[in-house]
Chain A
Amino acid sequence: MIGLISYLVFFTTVASILAIAVMGLNLHWGFTGLFNGGVVASFGAGAYATLILGGTPQAGHLGGYGWPWPLALAGGLVAAGVLAWIVGVLTLRLRRDYLAIATFGVAVTFENVMRNAQGLAGGAQGVRGFERPLQDVIGTGLSYNVFFLAVTLAALILTYVVLERLVRSPFGRLLRAIREDEEAARALGKSPTRVRLTSFVFGSVVIGLAGGLYGTFYAFVSPQDVLPILTFQIWAMLIVGGAGNNRGAVAGTFLIWGAWTASGWALARFAPVEAQLYTGSVQFILIGLVIVGMLLWRPEGLFPERLAPASKTADDRGKLEPGSVT
């Protein structure tokens, strides 16, 4: 029983962290139409910077500044934001698939730099020596995991509230207009370049938050955590859940992460011995199939974007049937 609870706590923590990243991508793709193929670069920047800034001194690489955790995490968000700003200034003039290729390249570059720059972030061994916040008070084990789950859920709820507020605001309306038709938006006096950059940086900061929490939870980050597969998983979660719908993004995360975990377990348990080496690859194929299948048969996701019924005031909004935008 304790084992099951323990596992559920662990699962929910990881899924909640990923859900934050998926909502960040949702701001990019779902609301602004930015095809970000380099989600892991922001995720990694958040994780690495948090651990480097907040960790204990390490021989052989940068780090050990021992910042208090909230400051270290904030540093992770700044790192993700600065990286996104630089990448955004250089690439946001690109459209759709070209932007995806460019950002994918950035993410792969990030992974390779981390893997090879020994003096920067420990190379292939990654960054260790991180003391998780309040660990000396709460201790390790299940009680700490429950505590950290609470922290993660608080971050998830805060992210959801802020992003919902944002996308329901005139800023969100502007993002969606640029997603729908940039030229028409310009004819109405809007400057897409700045808005796209703002969306890209802010969404990347949200993804960086997820990375910072992830690094904190494991007290460890290595190049294995920023492989391209994570970008694809996060995309699958958004597409299955429903781009343009934050609740869908969260639901899609739990569904896909559940399916991923279950398929990993099932493959390990039931696959014949000679196939055991390839179970990871089989999972990659499965995630690809899920993305393609969803795009073919239900591109709007399980929870499609809803149209804001804006003509009524807040008082009688409850009576409205929200229109579906499919």
Chain B
Amino acid sequence: MADAILTTRGLCRSFGALRAVDDVTLDVRRGSITGLIGPNGAGKSTLFNLLAGVLPPDAGEIALEGRPLSGPPEARFAAGLGRTFQIPRPFARMSVLENVMLAPMGQTGETLWGAILGRGKVRGEEARHRARAMEILDFVTLAPLADHPAGQISGGQMKLLELARVLMGDPRVILLDEPAAGVNPVLTETLIGKIEALNAAGTTFVVIEHDMDFVMRHCDPVIALAEGRVIFQGTAAEAQANPALLDAYLGAPVDA
């Protein structure tokens, strides 16, 4: 693919005898909302964890904008890859705003000496981060909850909060792990609206989602995994008509 922003080559990861991700080579098109589908146990989450650096691969390579992507999760966020979690992970006993203000990289006040001695500089940075965080919270409709403990907002709001945190890092690619799962329909629509708006502004998304309606309406292309392998790439409409994919969902073994 000519304009791939995120690529994997021969990515493998096993857990004991189970080959969770088996020789996955794929290209994520710049500016797309790429849907990642497949039955439970297909290896979608493992693939996400490999991309995000939570797990090291047994073999294979990942590249973002042509540059190799390796190392721990923190290095990948710095490189421009953001991710949200399937089950939201808010910093529960911190305010919604603090959750977001945490995200900017290289804050002076994040070091011991910067915090104690660099008060003037820190104050300036904090004012900037606060303004930007409020802007983003406003964008994701959470501004009224800025001072709420993040552990006491709804599950859907937590998903919006995770998106807001990630946006503070200006990522070029955002991995969303089941954004619509367990969220009430109104908030899902809000979240989808925000994803579409960010995508229109140039952010690439890779989305794991089981809600086929969501995938049909918003994802292009769709990549399907089964038993750790890519079994289909194409449009959402083609995915629905694909017999191999249907078999995979119905539990038939995948032909090598």
Interface residues, chain A, CB within 8 Å of chain B? 162, 165-166, 169-174, 176-177, 180-181, 183-191, 198, 202, 244, 305, 307-312, 320, 323, 325
Q: How far is the CA of A24 from the CA of B43 in the complex (A)?
A: 45
Is the pair B122, A169 in contact by a Cβ cutoff of 8 Å? yes
- What 1/0 mask marks residues of chain B from 139 to 151 whose CB sits below 8 Å from any chain A CB? 0000000111100
Q: How far is the CB of A185 from chain B (nearest CB, A)?
A: 7
CB<8 Å pairs between A and B, sample of 13: A170-B114, A176-B94, A185-B91, A187-B89, A188-B102, A188-B103, A189-B169, A307-B93, A308-B95, A309-B147, A311-B95, A312-B147, A325-B149
- The answer to whether residues A191 and B110 also contact, given A308-B95, A310-B98, A311-B146 and a CB cut-off of 8 A, is no
Nearest-neighbor residue (CB-CB) of A202 within chain B: B112
Q: How far is the CB of B130 from chain A (nearest CB, A)?
A: 7
Nearest-neighbor residue (CB-CB) of B113 within chain A: A171
Which of B4-12, B70-78, B233-241 has 4 or more CB atoms under 8 Å from chain A?
B70-78
Residue among B78, B105, B112, B130 with most chain A CB within 10 A: B112
For B165, the chain A residues whose CB sits under 8 A away are: 188
Is the pair B97, A310 in contact by a Cβ cutoff of 8 Å? yes
For A176, the chain B residues whose CB sits under 8 A away are: 91, 93-94, 98
For A191, the chain B residues whose CB sits under 8 A away are: 72, 74
For A184, the chain B residues whose CB sits under 8 A away are: 85, 89-91
For A166, the chain B residues whose CB sits under 8 A away are: 112, 115-116
Nearest-neighbor residue (CB-CB) of A325 within chain B: B93
Closest 9 CB pairs of A and B: A170-B109, A169-B115, A189-B77, A171-B115, A180-B91, A311-B146, A184-B89, A186-B73, A169-B109
Q: Residue B93 contacts which of A186, A187, A305, A310 (CB distance < 8 angstroms)?
A: A305
- Check: B54 CB closer than 8 A to any chain A CB: yes
Q: Residue A190 contacts which of B102, B112, B115, B148 (CB distance < 8 angstroms)?
A: B102
Q: Residue A170 contacts which of B77, B91, B99, B110 (CB distance < 8 angstroms)?
A: B110
For B122, the chain A residues whose CB sits under 8 A away are: 169-170
Is the pair A180, B109 in contact by a Cβ cutoff of 8 Å? no
- Check: B25 CB closer than 8 A to any chain A CB: no
- Check: B208 CB closer than 8 A to any chain A CB: no
Q: Residue B147 contacts which of A189, A198, A202, A307 (CB distance < 8 angstroms)?
A: A307
Q: How far is the CA of A80 from the CA of B122 in the complex (A)?
A: 29
Q: How far is the CA of A191 from the CA of B108 in the complex (A)?
A: 15
Q: How far is the CB of A316 from chain B (nearest CB, A)?
A: 12
- Check: B246 CB closer than 8 A to any chain A CB: no
Q: How far is the CA of A174 from the CA of B111 in the complex (A)?
A: 9
- The answer to whether residues A311 and B134 also contact, given A162-B116, A173-B102, A189-B78 and a CB cut-off of 8 A, is yes
Q: How far is the CA of A173 from the CA of B95 in the complex (A)?
A: 10
Q: How far is the CA of A170 from the CA of B110 in the complex (A)?
A: 5
Is the pair A310, B95 in contact by a Cβ cutoff of 8 Å? yes
Is the pair B149, A323 in contact by a Cβ cutoff of 8 Å? yes
- Check: B83 CB closer than 8 A to any chain A CB: yes
Is the pair B149, A307 in contact by a Cβ cutoff of 8 Å? yes
For A202, the chain B residues whose CB sits under 8 A away are: 112
Q: Residue A180 contacts which of B93, B101, B130, B146 (CB distance < 8 angstroms)?
A: B93
- Check: B24 CB closer than 8 A to any chain A CB: no
For A323, the chain B residues whose CB sits under 8 A away are: 95, 147-149
Is the pair A309, B95 in contact by a Cβ cutoff of 8 Å? yes
Is the pair A170, B126 in contact by a Cβ cutoff of 8 Å? yes
Q: How far is the CB of B169 from chain A (nearest CB, A)?
A: 6
For A172, the chain B residues whose CB sits under 8 A away are: 115
Inter-chain pairs besides A165-B119, A170-B108, A307-B94, 6 sampled, C-beta below 8 Å: A169-B114, A170-B122, A171-B109, A181-B91, A187-B73, A325-B93
